[in-house]
Structure 1
Amino acid sequence: MRLSTQLAYLFILALPVASIAWTVTHEEVFREPREWCKDKSQNCHALVPRKFFYLFTCEYCFSHYVAALFLLITQFQMLYEGWRGYLVAWFALVWVANVYMGFFNRLRLDIKHENVAIAVDQTKVNGDPPPPIHKP
């Protein structure tokens, strides 16, 4: 497979990896299981269970497992054939997915900042007290 095709696959495969990793580790739909895993990762006495449960709370850690699953499903390899190609593809996929998640996180912060600024401006115009800021 040509390098340009491999790069296209890499950037496309990183999208669902980032989406799944972000959703599981940040979004409301998985809040209760994530909080349970967080509690287990902080309170288990044995090292292996602590680390296992922690990976469901960290998008970087979890993206490694999601990327490995996608490589297993797609058989995608980069630069080399065999195990070396899978290894290169795995770390490249994790890196690109985490770049995507970083961009997404920055975009969300910018949107929240704009919403707060708009709310403050509206209260100045109306003379109302500023609205309370809710933390997610």
Structure 2
Amino acid sequence: MLKIPVSIHDDLIAHAREGFPLEVCGILGGADDTVSAIYRMTNTDASNEHFMMEPREQFSVVKDLRAKGLAMLAIYHSHPETPARPSREDIRLALTPQVSHVIVSLANPGEPVVKSYKINDGNVEPEPLETI
């Protein structure tokens, strides 16, 4: 189970809305199963169908997480017009099985949906997500 504070959950949705109609992406850090930090990243693909994080930003985030004694718990991105479930491309590019994949859907802008998944070797498992 992934636990996300309300403030970070709200920031995920805000980031998705600010980036609309393009996908946004980022990293969630924390300890154990509880998120305590959000890092908004640049989607270098600037696409509404896929994302690619800027490598230098990723390196800086990993460095900052280590300095704070935190771990990368999740990679997040938005689906501006589709449901909060991994696309074929999301599954193909999920190369870190120990990290959760959080998706923010704006398919219904009045009711954003945030879901989490574990993706390992092409297998997708929904992961319980608790807002704390």
User: Could you tell me the TM-score, scaled by structure 1's length?
Assistant: 0.27
- Higher Cα radius of gyration: 1
Which structure has the highest strand share of the two?
2
